[in-house]
Amino acid sequence: MKRIHIYIITILGLLISCKKETSVKTNNALENKVSELLTKMTLEEKIGQLNLRGTSSRVKGSLPEELKQAVREGKVGAFLNVMNKQYVDELQQIATTESPNKIPLIFARDVIHGFKTIFPIPLGMAASWDADVAKSSSRVAAIEASSFGVRWTFAPMLDIARDARWGRIAESPGEDPYLASILGKAYVEGFQGDSLNDPTSLIACAKHFIGYGAAIGGRDYNTAIINKELLQNVYLPPFKAAFKAGSQTVMTAFNEMNGIPASGDKYLLQDILRKQIGFDGFVVSDWNSVTEMIPHGFAKDEKHAAKIGINAGLNMEMTSQSYEKYVKELLQEGKITENQINSLVADILRVKFRMGLFENSKRAQDDSGKLYTENHLQLAKEAAIKSSVLLKNEGNLLPLNKNKKIVIIGPLANKPREQLGTWTFDGDKTHTKTPVTTFQQNNVDFTFVEGLTFSRDIAENQFQKAINAAKQSDFIIFIGGEEAILSGEAHSRANINLPGKQEKLIKELAKIGKPIVLVIMAGRPITITNIIKDVDAVLMTWHPGTMGGPAIYDMIFGNEEPQGRLPVTWPKVAGQLPLFYNHKNTGRPASSKEFVHINDIPIGAWQSSLGNTSHYLDAGFTPHFPFGYGLGYTTFEYTNLTLSSNVLTNANTLKISVDIKNTGNRKGNEIVQLYVQDVVGSITRPVKELKKFKKISLEAGEQQTVTFELEVNDLKYYNNKMEYGVEQGDFNIWIGKNAANGLKETFKYE
């Protein structure tokens, strides 16, 4: 028997070493190709590879001759937004047959949450807590986009977002690094597919590197101040996950971090990205972010900006052309070196070789059958259901009885374009199924009165008609929220209530005394404190995409239950922001025992009588809904939290189990969440950190024991000396349905 073991181990060892040898050979062969091509290239051609030429996707008529000539001379490495298949074919033909070294172009597009078939906005996708949903959505997007010649998407956006005023929270994976890392990996795998040289593979672009979501005040493009340990423990993990999953590119952010604009930050692009993480793809700037170092006050002119970018290690300049204009001069003046240029170009060529573009640069043909297929639409509907978060369901109002008289009111009930949300340049609104069209197609007996014609509408001239219709109905479904333009890039809001007169209309409707279901379509958490008491149920669908209507229909009538859980903390008022669950405890943590609400303060109260802890007199210290929160159509009971040991060491793994029972009367889904607190650290540690979660589905009355394993690696963090590890001491552990509740146990790490 022993001999067989030795034999097997030997074989395995040989296989592993062969695999390693093969990958070394492959890498060597690749590097030889890159080096060989570099030696043939002129300086002009090398500079051309560093140039991502922006075009308008609205190019009409024929391609400008100047553009074609630039390609012919090898002055362009990639294009952005060429959304005309003939133009793609024509430019690629010129590049691969007429340019000096026939180097293929890469065609890029922002394919963020779908291409033609639009999925929920990424913040909604994050609410699914489902890697499979993320991966399948990006695979569908890749199949649809590649048929238009796109082979590079500027996604996934992996900016941790802790401030709902920020417009781009809509595109973010939420506030938690662990959840964002799982989603980032899944998106990259979906976009890039099984092989980079598959014509339906889109190379991914982890963005925006880094700290874009930390913009002060949630004001887009604004200053980010992030200390080293926050960078390592909160903002970097999703990017590391994307790079580990093989993301071939990364995009620098518009913002400065600690005084240095990302596109010129050598520490970020060399020390962190290349040396610490070992990224071996290429870095692209965001739109004009190289020359924006001038308004940042970090470069005095374009030539200086180009020098900073090159010295920082920024490979490709998007849309601004400082490299094209000044690299040659900077070289001649010895301010940059030929080696630097060769290294930057090599990174780009390496990716092009990996994409198989030198062997086959043809656009994936036969696109006709690939758009809006039944499968794509079904996946988009499932994603919308898994993303939707049920925030309130008073008296189990939902699901509704289909045979009752229903009125649908609200400015987003029948808006095919708004329902798609931000970053959907290619989504075709004629394919959108809205709630109103879906109810009609399913022969629901309902009346539709918009009440307001768009989300910011302040006209009350339709109010009476809506009120009259509501009086004739059993249930009111109000579908409101934000138009798509109110979130996304450059669209931060200081007040994140329902815009326009939506609140007033809801309050008028509430006077009638009929049950109200509020369905919100928006790109961020919306503060609904003013009207939460006026409605009986609240369903957050984010901007749910092409199939939002069928998803809402199925959830309203109970064919499906909303399965989402909040990927961001939901504030009561904007004044609480930034607001996130994994905050520090402070020396004076707030508690309900001491807190006195502003309305309860006695007149002439003694100065120190209000509880000297960290809170707002008028908004307290808790969110409206916590991270991880979401209701379903059944209830779950958690009991019997058990640890295999109360001591964790480097040599063991904690096995944690909890019994969960579906105590309702219908099948239901639950996302079981495991949080940990490192009670004492060499720097202060968050009060809770999500470390594991599992999605389960139980029949009515069914009980299941859910188990997790926790090991030392799950607890490691960077302290302020950049030491990565775990200190011995006490830990708290919770398992529950959101960040605010759960069964608690303790253990020691020794």
Q: Which of 130, 286, 536, 678 is catalytic?
A: 286
**Partner residues linked to 67 by β-bridges:** none
Buried b (16+ CB within 10 A) or exposed e, 575-613: ebbbbbbbeeeeeeebeeeebeeeeeeeeeeeeeebbee
194 is catalytic: no
Are 406 and 440 spatial neighbours (Cβ–Cβ below 8 Å)? no
Distance CA 41, CA 22 (A): 29
In the bound complex, what is the minimum distance in angstroms from residue 168's beta carbon to ligand GLC? Answer: 8
Taking the least distance from each CB to ligand GLC, the nearer of 281 and 480 is 281
Taking the least distance from each CB to ligand GLC, the nearer of 129 and 323 is 323
Distance CA 477, CA 467 (A): 12
Return the sign of the alpha-carbon dihedral for residues 228, 229, 235, 238: positive
Taking the least distance from each CB to ligand GLC, the nearer of 215 and 390 is 215
Distance CA 192, CA 172 (A): 20
**Partner residues linked to 463 by β-bridges:** none
SS3 per-residue string spanning 542-582: CCCCCCHHHHHHHHHCCCCCCCCCCCCCECCCHHHCCCCCC
Distance CA 293, CA 309 (A): 9
In the bound complex, what is the minimum distance in angstroms from residue 663's beta carbon to ligand GLC? Answer: 45
**Nearest C-alpha neighbor of 448 from the set 412, 500, 496, 481:** 412
The neighbour count for residue 445, using CB atoms within 10 Å, is 11
Taking the least distance from each CB to ligand GLC, the nearer of 253 and 715 is 253
In the bound complex, what is the minimum distance in angstroms from residue 318's beta carbon to ligand GLC? Answer: 7
Q: In the block, which residue shows the tokens 């926050």?
A: 230
- Cβ-based burial of 57 (10 A; exposed 0-12, middle 13-18, buried ≥19): middle
Who's near 417: CB < 8 A, 6+ residues apart? Answer: 429, 432, 484
Q: Summarize as ranges the residues that interact with ligand GLC (CB under 6 A).
A: 110, 154, 207, 286-287, 489
DSSP codes of every residue in 378-440? HHHHHHHHHH-EEEEEGGG-PSPPTTS-EEEESTTTT-TTGGG-SS-TT--GGG---HHHHHH
- Cβ-based burial of 709 (10 A; exposed 0-12, middle 13-18, buried ≥19): exposed
Tokens at 749, concatenated:
């790490």
> Coil, strand, or helix at residue 623?
coil
State the DSSP code for 534.
G
In the bound complex, what is the minimum distance in angstroms from residue 649's beta carbon to ligand GLC? Answer: 44
Taking the least distance from each CB to ligand GLC, the nearer of 207 and 543 is 207
In the bound complex, what is the minimum distance in angstroms from residue 110's beta carbon to ligand GLC? Answer: 5
Are 446 and 407 spatial neighbours (Cβ–Cβ below 8 Å)? yes
Taking the least distance from each CB to ligand GLC, the nearer of 288 and 388 is 288
Are 434 and 415 spatial neighbours (Cβ–Cβ below 8 Å)? yes
In the bound complex, what is the minimum distance in angstroms from residue 287's beta carbon to ligand GLC? Answer: 4
Taking the least distance from each CB to ligand GLC, the nearer of 157 and 186 is 157
Are 252 and 314 spatial neighbours (Cβ–Cβ below 8 Å)? yes
In the bound complex, what is the minimum distance in angstroms from residue 417's beta carbon to ligand GLC? Answer: 19
In the bound complex, what is the minimum distance in angstroms from residue 119's beta carbon to ligand GLC? Answer: 17
Taking the least distance from each CB to ligand GLC, the nearer of 280 and 489 is 489
Taking the least distance from each CB to ligand GLC, the nearer of 168 and 615 is 168
Distance CA 688, CA 715 (A): 12
In the bound complex, what is the minimum distance in angstroms from residue 644's beta carbon to ligand GLC? Answer: 45
In the bound complex, what is the minimum distance in angstroms from residue 586's beta carbon to ligand GLC? Answer: 34
Taking the least distance from each CB to ligand GLC, the nearer of 110 and 256 is 110
Taking the least distance from each CB to ligand GLC, the nearer of 314 and 654 is 314
In the bound complex, what is the minimum distance in angstroms from residue 262's beta carbon to ligand GLC? Answer: 11
**Length of the chain (residues):** 750
Which residue of this chain has its Cβ atom nearest to ligand GLC in the complex?
A: 154
Are 492 and 426 spatial neighbours (Cβ–Cβ below 8 Å)? no
**Nearest C-alpha neighbor of 344 from the set 357, 358, 333, 330:** 330
Residues acting as catalytic residues: 286
